[in-house]
């Protein structure tokens, strides 16, 4: 036997966010007071009405398989939500509910990509995008977006990246890891380019409700001619603090939705019946105070980071991450070790000052680190003190 593990799996890069989180939890088990700024998980409880709906599903025996695409009740509720909140018209048959938005994305790439197809992926990007694209046999075409553009893809970059092999373009707004939010005019400009090319538009809108002093827009609501080839991805983990319920969905052209439902029927089958019952109620249970609290935390964290020597930090407009550029301290040392990368910076920060952050290499941005403010204000204040102390000891 030449290889016990398939080449497609051997070549996967492990999730950096999960890796840092695992190291952090190991240190916490040892009794170390680590401040975990690495993981994208809201520190709020699931809305009680949604939790009670899940409990009711259990006690009433609503625990059987559902259709592979999800219950009709939930798909109708999602279709209504998309129309009312996003200006998007989808029938329940065009919606597929999956075990988390990550699962939804994986289904999409497996369903639309053939070997050698290209998927345009703006960087910085979420860590799982390129790996999922590669697992589908496609090629992620990375387009680097820097601070000058607010970490956003420009129409010129998009036009230059499209080739005859392009199958899809992936947009994520609000963005993980940068918190960037595409404005109405920016999306219209990208839409004008995409209208000239026959490619799919995959738009990951999982953070749509978490925006500050701005609005979220769906690109196909602004450029309707794109809707026949736009696939919208969303879920319940972020806005409803339902990470462990594992519930996400796609809304897509009918042929794509049917293909994804068929694929899912042979993979996981339907998502949890209990989670779906909770999801129906969750859509009516959003708590805007979550956004207010994240807004407050963001302002404190960014203000403190911007005051630190060697650190540059843009103000994110959405999600719950900051993405500071720490290249200003590259070349400095601590304990005989040179800070020569974001990965080394995060390693030393965790080792010496017990703050867990994710290095930017995982997001296609080697000069940056990601810090999550989905944690308490007390933790943020402690983390800020420790980061400042850490920077002060670099020489």
State the average pLDDT over residues 224-246.
Answer: 97
The residues, any chain, with a CB within 8 Å of residue 261's CB and separated by 6 or more, are 67, 68, 69, 96
Same domain, 85 and 174: yes
Please check the confidence at residue 15 and state whether its pLDDT lies above 80.
no
Q: How far is CA 83 from the centre of its chain?
A: 23
Q: Which tens digit of pLDDT belongs to each residue from 136-179?
A: 999 999 999 999 999 999 999 999 999 999 999 999 999 999 99
* Rounded percentage of the chain residues whose pLDDT exceeds 70: 99
Q: Which residues pair with 36 in a beta bridge?
A: 356
The residues, any chain, with a CB within 8 Å of residue 302's CB and separated by 6 or more, are 313, 315, 316, 322
Q: Which two tokens stand for residue 67?
A: 């259709």
Please check the confidence at residue 19 and state whether its pLDDT lies above 80.
no
Same domain, 211 and 343: no
Please check the confidence at residue 2 and state whether its pLDDT lies above 70.
no
Distance CA 93, CA 254 (A): 7
Domain enclosing residue 253, as ranges: 48-282
- The answer to whether the CB of 113 falls within 8 A of the CB of 119 is yes
Same domain, 85 and 191: yes
Please check the confidence at residue 393 and state whether its pLDDT lies above 60.
yes
Q: Provide the pairing of β-strand 321-322 with 369-372.
A: antiparallel
Q: Which tens digit of pLDDT belongs to each residue from 182-195?
A: 999 999 999 999 99
The residues, any chain, with a CB within 8 Å of residue 95's CB and separated by 6 or more, are 69, 70, 75, 78, 79, 249, 250, 251, 252, 257
**Phi, psi at 233, each rounded to 5°:** -115, 135
Q: What is the pTM of this model?
A: 0.95
Asked if the structure places residue 37 within a domain, the reply is no
Same domain, 259 and 118: yes
Residue where a domain terminates, one of 236, 251, 282: 282
Q: Which tens digit of pLDDT belongs to each residue from 254-268?
A: 999 999 999 999 999
Residue where a domain terminates, one of 233, 267, 282: 282
Asked if the structure places residue 250 within a domain, the reply is yes
Q: Which two tokens stand for residue 7?
A: 């080449």
Distance CA 136, CA 157 (A): 24
- The answer to whether the CB of 16 falls within 8 A of the CB of 362 is yes
Residue 26, classed as helix, strand or coil, is helix
Q: How far is CA 392 from the centre of its chain?
A: 32
Same domain, 275 and 305: no
Residue found under tokens 């609501």: 221
Asked if the structure places residue 43 within a domain, the reply is no
- Ramachandran bin of 354, using left for φ above 0, alpha for ψ from -120 to 50, beta for the remaining angles: left
The residues, any chain, with a CB within 8 Å of residue 196's CB and separated by 6 or more, are none
Q: Which tens digit of pLDDT belongs to each residue from 55-105?
A: 999 999 999 999 999 999 999 999 999 999 999 999 999 999 999 999 999
Q: Which two tokens stand for residue 44?
A: 């709020």
Q: Which two tokens stand for residue 146?
A: 């820097």
State the average pLDDT over residues 312-333.
Answer: 98
| CA count, 13 A, side-chain hemisphere, 253 | 16
Same domain, 67 and 150: yes
Residue found under tokens 């550029």: 325
Distance CA 109, CA 133 (A): 6
Please check the confidence at residue 14 and state whether its pLDDT lies above 90.
no
Residue found under tokens 């089958």: 269
- Ramachandran bin of 142, using left for φ above 0, alpha for ψ from -120 to 50, beta for the remaining angles: beta
Asked if the structure places residue 177 within a domain, the reply is yes
Same domain, 196 and 340: no
Q: Which residues pair with 337 in a beta bridge?
A: 334
Asked if the structure places residue 41 within a domain, the reply is no
Tell me: cis bond preceding 124? Omega within 30 of 0 counts: yes
Same domain, 27 and 56: no
Asked if the structure places residue 2 within a domain, the reply is no
Distance CA 122, CA 172 (A): 9
Torsion of CA 294, 358, 183, 190, to 10 degrees: -160
Burial class (CB in 10 A: 0-12, 13-18, 19+), 253: middle
Residue where a domain terminates, one of 265, 282, 299: 282
Residue found under tokens 């010129």: 156
Residue found under tokens 């400009």: 189
Same domain, 269 and 309: no
Residue 236's alpha-carbon distances to 98, 209, 232, 285, 286, in angstroms, are 11, 11, 14, 11, 10
Please check the confidence at residue 1 and state whether its pLDDT lies above 60.
no
Distance CA 379, CA 300 (A): 12
Binning pLDDT at 50, 70 and 90, where does residue 232 land? very high
* CATH code for the domain in which residue 203 is found: 3.40.640.10
């Amino acid at each position: 036997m030449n290889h016990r593990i398939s080449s497609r799996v051997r070549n996967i890069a492990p999730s950096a966010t999960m890796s840092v989180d695992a190291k952090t939890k190991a240190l916490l088990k040892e009794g170390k007071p680590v401040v975990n700024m690495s993981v994208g998980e809201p520190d709020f409880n699931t809305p009680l009405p949604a939790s009670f709906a899940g409990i009711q599903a259990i006690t009433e025996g609503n625990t059987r398989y559902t259709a592979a695409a999800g219950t009709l009740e939930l798909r109708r509720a999602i279709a209504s939500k998309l129309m009312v909140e996003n200006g998007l018209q989808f029938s329940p048959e065009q919606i597929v509910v999956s075990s988390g938005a990550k699962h939804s994305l994986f289904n999409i790439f497996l369903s639309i990509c053939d070997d050698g197809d290209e998927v345009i992926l703006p960087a910085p990007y979420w860590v799982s995008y390129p790996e999922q694209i590669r697992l589908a046999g496609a090629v992620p075409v990375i387009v680097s977006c820097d601070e000058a553009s607010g970490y956003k893809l420009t129409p010129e970059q998009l036009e230059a990246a499209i080739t005859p092999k392009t199958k899809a373009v992936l947009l994520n707004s609000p963005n993980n890891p940068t918190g960037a939010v595409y404005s109405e005019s920016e999306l219209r400009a990208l839409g004008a380019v995409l209208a000239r090319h026959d490619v799919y538009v995959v738009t990951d809108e999982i953070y749509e409700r978490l925006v500050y002093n701005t609005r979220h827009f769906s690109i196909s609501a602004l450029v309707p001619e794109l809707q026949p080839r736009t696939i919208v991805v969303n879920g319940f983990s972020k806005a409803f603090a339902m990470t462990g319920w594992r519930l996400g969905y796609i809304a897509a052209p009918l042929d794509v939705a049917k293909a994804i439902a068929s694929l899912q029927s042979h993979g996981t089958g339907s998502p949890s019946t209990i989670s779906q019952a909770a999801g129906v109620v969750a859509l009516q249970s959003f708590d805007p105070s979550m956004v207010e609290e994240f807004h407050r935390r963001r302002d404190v964290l960014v203000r403190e980071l911007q005051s630190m020597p060697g650190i540059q930090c843009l103000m994110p407009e959405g999600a719950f991450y900051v993405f500071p550029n720490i290249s200003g301290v590259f070349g400095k040392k601590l304990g005989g070790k040179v800070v020569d990368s974001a990965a080394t910076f995060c390693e030393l920060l965790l080792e010496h000052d017990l703050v867990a952050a994710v290095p930017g290499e995982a997001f296609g941005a080697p000069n940056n680190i990601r810090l999550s403010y989905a944690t308490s204000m007390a933790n943020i204040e402690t983390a800020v003190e420790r980061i400042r102390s850490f920077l002060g000891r670099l020489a």
